[in-house]
Amino acid sequence: MTPFLTPGQTLCVVLMVMLGTLCTRFLPFLLFPENREAPAVVLYLGRVLPPAMMGLLVVYCLRSVDLTAGSHGLPEFLAVAVTAALQLWRRNSLLSIAAGTALYMLLVQVVF
């Protein structure tokens, strides 16, 4: 038999998630008000973390590509190349990600 949450437990979970979300949304504004300069470490992290996360996501997405399989990883690498090229050219993340995803799905569903 699977255990279910009681209404009180469900309310507690919802309130805790709400509190956690509110803290992550408002805490930065309380810690770093607009009229003060942010600490150097925060400015540094704001500069280096976005490219690091992009690299991490690329590695995560390509971790299971089998170069010995039938397509030899071609759809994945073509989609990554198109995404990178569009990002460098247009500097529009939504366009880059959407086009890369659409190309990958087209290649996997129709070509390979």
Digit-coded pLDDT (tens) for 51-78:
999 899 999 999 999 999 888 999 999 9
Residue 88 confidence (pLDDT): 95
Total domains present in the chain: 2
The answer to whether residue 106 sits within a structural domain is yes
User: For residue 112, what pLDDT is reported?
Assistant: 87
pLDDT at 71: 87
The domain containing residue 24 runs over which residues? Answer: 13-63
Judge residue 84's burial from the number of C-beta atoms within 10 Å of its C-beta, 0-12 exposed, 13-18 middle, 19 or more buried: middle
* Residues 59, 35 within the same domain: yes
CA angle 75, 89, 56 (to 5 degrees): 55
Residue 109 is predicted with a pLDDT of: 95
Q: In this structure, is residue 1 part of a structural domain?
A: no
Phi/psi at 73 (nearest 5 deg)?
75, 10
What is the amino acid identity at position 71? Answer: S
- Exposed (0-12), middle (13-18) or buried (19+): which is 100, by Cβ within 10 Å? buried
Query: What parts of the chain have a pLDDT lower than 70?
Result: 1-2
pLDDT for the residue 44: 97
